[in-house]
A and B are shown apart, each in its own frame.
Chain A
Amino acid sequence: MARVPGHWQSLSVNRRMIAELMASCHGMPIITIERRMALADVVAARNGLPDPPSWVALFAKAFALVAARRPELRRAYMPHPWPHFYETEGSIASIAVEREYGGESAVFFGQFFRPEGQTLDKLQAALVHWRDTPVEEVRDFRRLLNFMRVPRPLRRLAWWYALKVAGRHRVRQFGTFGISTTASAGATCRNLIAPVPYTLNYGLLAPDGELDVRLHFDHRVVDGMPAARALAEIEHELRTTIHAELRTLAAPAARTGVRALGVVVAER
């Protein structure tokens, strides 16, 4: 083939961060399981709200509620100084947020601290803050940008230390579970590489209110059957606790506007 022209391009801050994240997570044995959840009631309750909370907030709270009674969902595998688990008392959700930074689309991570004890309104307010506030003014994003200014060898050492040695730092930096979704652009992630032992993502809502939800988990921490049961419990939490909270938000006292009740679904 004749010579194909092209040119070098330096990595932007965000691309450098993702590249280092990928390098640090290389070798993590991540397994994916999927469950079709019947969420028509939740969809109806959510659509009845004038300003419905994002599905990310709903899933973060449901996962944390399940994790509150299943300690394996709050564990991370730490290989050094000898293989062990680090278990936290509460959950920290790490949410991937797409923002425009430096003239290109970039991914940042916002954290919900113990979402099981927070209201959906509060979680939604945090999501709006991450979505609308200038990147440099969001604490979680600024911390990431500051970290990327550290010289590369020190940065790589810090990645290694947080991911392999110090469970406390790992949880603080990356959370105990993550949520990353691209459903708003009409596509779903089939496999993920993430620094957390558990990552949730979901596809497009079917017209009958069914939703394919995937849990990507570190097989060193948990096996397939407990992970499958955790997904079933997340569905149960969504259909009971989260549904009840949505109904509370929809009660006349909590309403700020009027919106027609109906099921709004994505085209499949």
Chain B
Amino acid sequence: MLFPPPFFCSGRTLPLSVPRRFLADFIHFAAKMPLVGIARRMDLGAVLAARKAAAPAPNWTLLFAKAFARVAVERPELRRSYLGFPWPHLFECNESVASIAIEREYDGERMVMFAVFRNPHETPLAQLARELNDFRTKPIDEVPALLRTIRITKLPRLVRRALWRHALYQSGRLRAQNFGTFGISSIAPAGAVTVGMASLVTNTLSLGPFDEAGRLDVRLDFDHRVYDGMAAAEALQHLEIVLRTEILAELCDSKGN
């Protein structure tokens, strides 16, 4: 042997399961997104207290989804996505669609999937919580959005990659319907923070853990082709204001009811 190795390892080849294949497709397309991350420390002590007092306490990702969609009403750049075909242009969605990463079990294996919520700022928190619960607990066969993900992932690679390409780069409408106009990821309950980000949407929020004073770091990863850093910083500022006013008021109202 020309280059003898120091030792031999044995192993076996495994085909990619549906969950791994979906993630492989996701990462393949996410790697092409020029994402820039910007962070703001938000002081949400009052919201934290109001959420604790509410029964049942709504999920933080839903509160942020509602607040971000509310901010996007006044900031159209947060509803835009960059499309390269047939020539570079932007697609501006008239509505906001939130995409929240959830974990499901498929074929004995954990799988990351996405729950989509149309115009979350116009939907009451209780309804959003019900919908999220359905996405998390209902059998996959009974949730059309999740079932479609599985069906597409089972297609041959060439076909499914063509479908992904069409939805991501050619049709802004399909992109918003399937992937959302913004995403929210929170791994703070597992005691971790996001450092790198892979995403297919123009805006992705990641929430860090709260400190004792009720502050948390919120990070916005955005597609720099669509807007700039200062616009992102202002959006985060606006998001904090909405959380501390409108969302706080809704939490207090729900407690009163």
- Give how many A-B residue pairs fall within 8 Å (CB-CB): 119
B220: chain A residues at CB < 8 Å are: 187
Task: Count residues of A near B (Cβ-Cβ below 8 Å).
Answer: 37
Chain B 68-92 against A: per-residue CB contact (8 Å), 1 yes, 0 no? 0000000000011010000011111
> Known: A11-B89, A186-B237, A190-B219. Is A26-B225 also a contact (CB below 8 A)?
no
A3: chain B residues at CB < 8 Å are: 173, 177
Question: Chain B's nearest CB lies how many Å from the CB of A53?
Answer: 20
Chain A 57-80 against B: per-residue CB contact (8 Å), 1 yes, 0 no? 000000000000000000000000
CA distance A51 to B103 in the complex (A): 54
> Known: A9-B80, A11-B90, A268-B41. Is A191-B230 also a contact (CB below 8 A)?
no
Question: Chain B's nearest CB lies how many Å from the CB of A33?
Answer: 13
B226: which of A4, A15, A105, A186 is its contact (CB, 8 Å)? A15
A88: chain B residues at CB < 8 Å are: none
Q: Are B232 and A182 in contact (CB under 8 A)?
A: yes
CA distance A255 to B32 in the complex (A): 52
Question: Chain B's nearest CB lies how many Å from the CB of A130?
Answer: 14
A7 contacts partner chain B, Cβ-Cβ < 8 Å: yes
B62 contacts partner chain A, Cβ-Cβ < 8 Å: no
Task: Count residues of B near A (Cβ-Cβ below 8 Å).
Answer: 43
B173: which of A4, A18, A186 is its contact (CB, 8 Å)? A4
Nearest 7 Cβ contacts at the A-B interface: A185-B233, A22-B34, A187-B233, A190-B37, A6-B93, A19-B225, A182-B233
User: What are 20 sample pairs from A and B whose C-beta atoms fall under 8 A apart?
Assistant: A1-B97, A4-B173, A5-B95, A5-B173, A6-B79, A6-B91, A7-B92, A9-B90, A11-B90, A18-B225, A22-B225, A23-B34, A182-B230, A182-B233, A186-B233, A186-B236, A187-B39, A187-B233, A193-B34, A204-B41
Interface residues of A (CB under 8 A from B): 1-11, 15-16, 18-19, 22-23, 25-26, 96, 98, 105-107, 180, 182, 185-193, 204, 268
